[in-house]
Structure 1
């Protein structure tokens, strides 16, 4: 006979048996009979008491203790503990594994001692109450119904010291980096982390400070930031950073609050006439989580408090206001509107007079007098609106010279504008004034040209005399280096 195995790739090589003769499997000799005599015991009291019941015996294949566990390794250490992990034995001895025994000894000794009083069912265990900085050896053995099997030892000794590990941020399938909430609802940002030593956790907001309403709860393994009754100002990017001696790690959350938009950017103007003015502005930084549909432009006379709508459906960031009263000072403001409503307005802080003629000097000071002349000086002011997050650093320069405050020069800067005032202006105050704004996002420079008109300087010599006659002569000289700021 022969037998071959078959799989999806075909028939394998056959195995042949020894020759066998087809016959009845009995011997030719007749059976033998043996005669024995048995004397049955007799008892006057009939049958005696039964013996004790034996243990339950299950008919099965022979069993034995299990083999040693596989790959015993150290997963973590501290100054007083060691965490071990292993895999089940390949051979269970024909019976179910009922637990494991963990033993340890100091590295320089061979006196093994049992760690766990009862067998451990799981395949991991943390040994505690160890001496700090000491070296230990560990081994694990499995136990079944037939007894304790062979041990598997950790390959090298283990020292009880704190393990250092860089911070890690734990992200699972349910993690969301973008959160969208309606105005008035609550924002809750949760993140789990790990690291050794326990890292410090810090929440921050990009380009702004965290709201005073932000509630932060942090443990050794997770942190939560909660803001109740949020509004458009709570929208933005929130940065979570964990850091320890081994490094740092950050993650950014984007929060969108569905609300009315914030105020548009600063308003500027141009082309001022007796009856019109052209306004310009930037889109709001916070759009309320929805596209800006249009802008609402309003004006009011400086002497009144009520606002008048000039346009409620302006779709661009520029608008020409007409039908102004000549010489009348007006305030202007612009609001953005999205699907959730009209947002906060941005308003000009100073009124603008509808006029084409330059305004007269605000102040004339008498600087010097003689018998035949009076020297007058006036004050000029450069006022420029500014913006930026964080608030920019402001620097004024005249040509290459940085300006500082003196008795004649005054610099005032607020969060939304900067003003340079020069009293008793002189010809030397003419030139290009540079305003530089700088923050972490970048640098921007603006140029303003100032011309101070005064007396021309002396002509440049020498004076040359030519064409001399009895009644006349011709004088020649060069123009003065300073023409006084005005054509001759």
Structure 2
């Protein structure tokens, strides 16, 4: 046996003449084409060569592909059934040219080809079916060698409409939270599916959709676009998908980066002879960013406001004010986008010492009664309050008590204490709190404590 080149140069590939009409040629170059011819040999010599063979490539042998790994029904209607399958695990060593789909109806036994031309994808929709009828399907791959093995669906499929609840298709581009600067635009979109095709409805929590918003919905996609966003567009937006099989809701969060709204309910909570303390509530809208701090201002002249302080808290004490003067104030909120509009106090405040009626706390003295042994020492301690600071006095049977060697009286701005040694007989002890008002010398007396029946035990 000889191997021949394109120039008709032939080389012997067997050293000895094989006894049978077959032989194995080894040590060939992969993917190289070769031609062969054969000559017979007897005792008289070598005979005439045979015709040269067709070119043969030295490559792995080719075969038909195996069957697809999985064939299944992905969907159906009253007149169609959708099939999907996976590529064969072994393509036979050659490229898959396409697939052949065959079907058989009900109890019939003859398989009929569905597609005239090979299907190059791994899915196919079989149409023109009888409503309610059952069908079996099988798929075979085809390569250059020929048609491969068949793979049949696990069980017969029925041509009926499938009802499925709405479902949301989430991909890598899906975002539930969208942050946009004031004046910008935002688009909230969602891909969905379901049988029948769901309807899509967009709503905004705690408000209505902006007049600058537009809803666009197709069979499998719905979007809400908002142009020229402002802080009022901040909030949660929900798209409700609904069909006869059920419903599905998906919520998006939109944050518009804008200056915050003004603080709420600015008011005075304390006024003294040289200072006022203001309190307010956080803005209803923070502008989509954290409130960094608040600015407190007061007017200077007729059209100018000056800063008197800033704070991260919801209260601020303005000091070094002139007693007897009236003042207006306003508060601004600040975030990374800027300052809010000012929120002013409802009316000016007069800086003066406030008047608070004298009061005392008797809660720690049970039934306002104290007893002690004859000759013993007792102590009475009474917290007091009021503006201006009240003056406290102690009386025993209408007689004002003073500090003696037996009686010790201590008075501070918020409490009064009496200590007495050597109690002898029942007496009535009265503590009186007085305050000297700025308008005159009138005294307001409040009985804080009546100790009755102080007796010898």
Q: Distance in 2 between matches of 1:196 and 1:157?
A: 21
Structure 2 residue runs of 5 or longer lacking an equivalent are 1-14, 19-40, 355-457
Q: Distance in 1 between matches of 2:241 and 2:202?
A: 9
Aligned partner (choices 316, 326, 330) of residue 313 of structure 2: 316
Deviation for aligned residue 1:231: 1.9
Q: Distance in 1 between matches of 2:64 and 2:285?
A: 71
Matched, 1:337 2:365: no
2:237 equivalent in structure 1 = 238
Q: Superposed, which structure 2 residues align to 1:57-456 within 5 Å?
A: 65-90=64-89, 92-93=91-92, 95-271=94-270, 278-297=277-296, 308-309=305-306, 311=308, 313-320=310-317, 333-347=330-344, 351=347, 354=350
Q: Distance in 2 between matches of 1:138 and 1:26?
A: 55
For the 8 Å contact 1:205–1:236, the answer to whether it is kept is yes
Structure 1 residue runs of 5 or longer lacking an equivalent are 1-23, 39-53, 359-488
Deviation for aligned residue 1:171: 2.5
Deviation for aligned residue 1:91: 5.1
For the 8 Å contact 1:324–1:354, the answer to whether it is kept is no
1:384 equivalent in structure 2 = none
Task: Provide the alpha-carbon RMSD of the alignment.
Answer: 4.3
**What SS class does the counterpart of residue 342 from structure 2 fall into?**
strand
For the 8 Å contact 1:294–1:316, the answer to whether it is kept is yes
Q: Distance in 2 between matches of 1:32 and 1:176?
A: 85
**TM-score, scaled relative to structure 2:** 0.56
Q: Distance in 1 between matches of 2:44 and 2:54?
A: 36
Could you say if the C-alpha distance between residues 316 and 155 of structure 1 is closer, same or farther in structure 2, counting changes exceeding 3 Å? closer
Q: Deviations over 1:256-281 (max 9, x none)?
A: 32221112223344346899764321
1:440 equivalent in structure 2 = none
For the 8 Å contact 1:103–1:138, the answer to whether it is kept is yes
Q: Deviations over 1:340-362 (max 9, x none)?
A: 322133456x546759999xxxx
Q: Deviations over 1:125-164 (max 9, x none)?
A: 1112323332222122233334434433223221122223
Q: Distance in 1 between matches of 2:209 and 2:46?
A: 105
Deviation for aligned residue 1:122: 1.8
Q: Deviations over 1:357-411 (max 9, x none)?
A: 99xxxxxxxxxxxxxxxxxxxxxxxxxxxxxxxxxxxxxxxxxxxxxxxxxxxxx
For the 8 Å contact 1:66–1:148, the answer to whether it is kept is yes
Tell me the matched-pair count.
313
For the 8 Å contact 2:68–2:86, the answer to whether it is kept is yes
Deviation for aligned residue 1:333: 4.3
Could you say if the C-alpha distance between residues 162 and 269 of structure 1 is closer, same or farther in structure 2, counting changes exceeding 3 Å? farther
Deviation for aligned residue 1:300: 7.6
Deviation for aligned residue 1:305: 8.8
Deviation for aligned residue 1:109: 2.8
Could you say if the C-alpha distance between residues 199 and 333 of structure 1 is closer, same or farther in structure 2, counting changes exceeding 3 Å? farther
For the 8 Å contact 1:296–1:309, the answer to whether it is kept is no
2:386 equivalent in structure 1 = none
Q: Distance in 2 between matches of 1:25 and 1:313?
A: 108
For the 8 Å contact 1:191–1:223, the answer to whether it is kept is yes
